[in-house]
Structure 1
Amino acid sequence: MWRNLLAWKKAGTVKAFFFFFTLLCAWYSGYLLAELIPEAPLSSAIYSIRSIGEKPILKAPAPKRQKCDHWTPCPPKTYAYQLLSGGGREKYAKICFEDELVIGEKTKYVARGINIAIVNYVTGKVIETRFFDMYEGDNSGLLTKFIQSAPQKSLLLMVTHDDGSRRLKDDAKNAIEALGSKEIRNMKFRSSWVFLAAKGIELPTGIQREKINHFDNKKNRYSGWPAEIQIEGCIPQELS
């Protein structure tokens, strides 16, 4: 009996020793594994596992800026233009041609009245810019002479800021009407007006050339001022 008891105790001691030895080996193996595997790949792997099932976030690329802030680019061999009338006391008129700000707040070539830019159609270069006050002074005759002095094969881009009609006389109206304007005789006090004309060339019928917006006490974006209006488009570089 005593022999059996001693044998049982001996077997238990051996099992305990092997169990403790197994735990020690497992701990040491884990320690070596942690030392041998770099931290970054392990963290990346954990992040990848956590990311499984998550929806990817797709970001649309920023839209590419087009000439004269068009939404879509003009076709090759065309000129881009944008005409914007003044709107309110602080929003100045603007003329952009081939991505060049010809008339606008950042230039000194903008003022009350009718603002005009003459562009050489063949080269696409600006020839001259002027503004004519139509609220004070006698500038209607000067405006007429400026329009008539534009050379053949030139573009004339016109925009109003504030008032462009109070002192606009028939001589100037006739000169602008001869260029194809349909609205010049409808101009009223502080009407917003933009007009694209050509001299010595025929513009395509499909492009937008003129727009007008009248002052209305009941429908005004600004107090006492009509809202600004805009036209833009593309002109072929080869016309008859």
Structure 2
Amino acid sequence: MRPVAAGVFKALLLVFASMGAWYSGYLLAELIPDMPLSSAVYNIRSLGERPVLKAPAPKRQKCDHWTPCPPNTYAYRLLSGGGRDKYAKICFDDELLIGEKTGNVGRGINIAVVDYVTGKVTGAQYFDMYEGDNSGPMTKFIQSAPPKSLLLMVTHDDGSSRLQAQAKDTIEALGSKEIKNMRFRSSWVFLGAKGFELPSGIPREKINHSDNSKNRYSGWPAEIQIEGCISRALS
């Protein structure tokens, strides 16, 4: 092929190649929707990646139980205080009856009274057992609870120093087996019933004594808790 003809042929090839590249770019621009270049690059890279499957968040249960209570039952959770600053909590049927957020928790024995028939709280109060003469008023508070009442009790800090024998007898009559074993700063939780019997199988009471060799906090044992479900149709 002559040099002139070869040059013309190369020029024609360059023109056709340029036109082909332009047309391919035009078609690509029409087929791909407008998006930032970085997004386009990310989408291209992600084509070969496996999709990430996210499990749905677990449904929250009443009173923060791990598993739901059966139908026609009340959920409850009693948590004692821990140390000086971790306050006690009483939750019943998903309502916080006593706790830091409700502003009605304090040193001593914290008590919530619930009408078993309606599930509604009828009284909530704490009684300082370290200072003051509060054992007598607490006894009257417990005795004034109407029949068919649930009494939920938790300690914060110390609940034993000024706890008198009459108060212990009154709480023991509600089913407590540990109230007379209370010591200085013992962590204690208890679920009592007035005017009816609770099932024997449900968690009702727990105690943890202060022991300087085992205490979680300086001078205080670890907090303790019980939780469970109470049928709404007890006799």
TM-score (norm 1): 0.87
Q: 1:23-172 alignment to 2 at 5 Å?
A: 23-38=14-29, 39-40=32-33, 50-51=45-46, 53-172=48-167
Which stretches of structure 1, 4 residues or longer, exceed 4 Å deviation after superposition?
39-49
Aligned to 1:223: 218
SS at match of 2:206: strand
Cα distance in structure 1, aligned partners of 2:194 and 2:181: 22
Letter in 2 for 1:110: V
Aligned to 2:206: 211
Deviations 1:182-214 (Å, cap 9, x if unpaired)?
111110001000001111222222211100000
Cα distance in structure 2, aligned partners of 1:162 and 1:50: 59
Deviations 1:141-191 (Å, cap 9, x if unpaired)?
222221111111111000011111111122111111111111111100010
Does 2:12 match 1:21? yes
Aligned CA-pair RMSD: 2.2
Letter in 2 for 1:181: S
Letter in 1 for 2:56: P
Deviation, structure 1 residue 73 = 2.0
Cα distance in structure 1, aligned partners of 2:65 and 2:83: 23
Aligned to 2:234: 239
Corresponding pairs, count: 231
The structure with the largest alpha-carbon Rg is 1
Cα distance in structure 2, aligned partners of 1:51 and 1:221: 49
SS at match of 1:37: helix
Letter in 2 for 1:96: C
Letter in 2 for 1:24: V
Deviation, structure 1 residue 131 = 1.3
Deviations 1:123-149 (Å, cap 9, x if unpaired)?
111000121111122222222221111
Gaps of 5+ in 1: 1-7
Cα distance in structure 2, aligned partners of 1:122 and 1:203: 13
Range moving further from structure 2, 49-58 or 126-135: 49-58
Cα distance in structure 1, aligned partners of 2:149 and 2:72: 17
Letter in 2 for 1:108: G
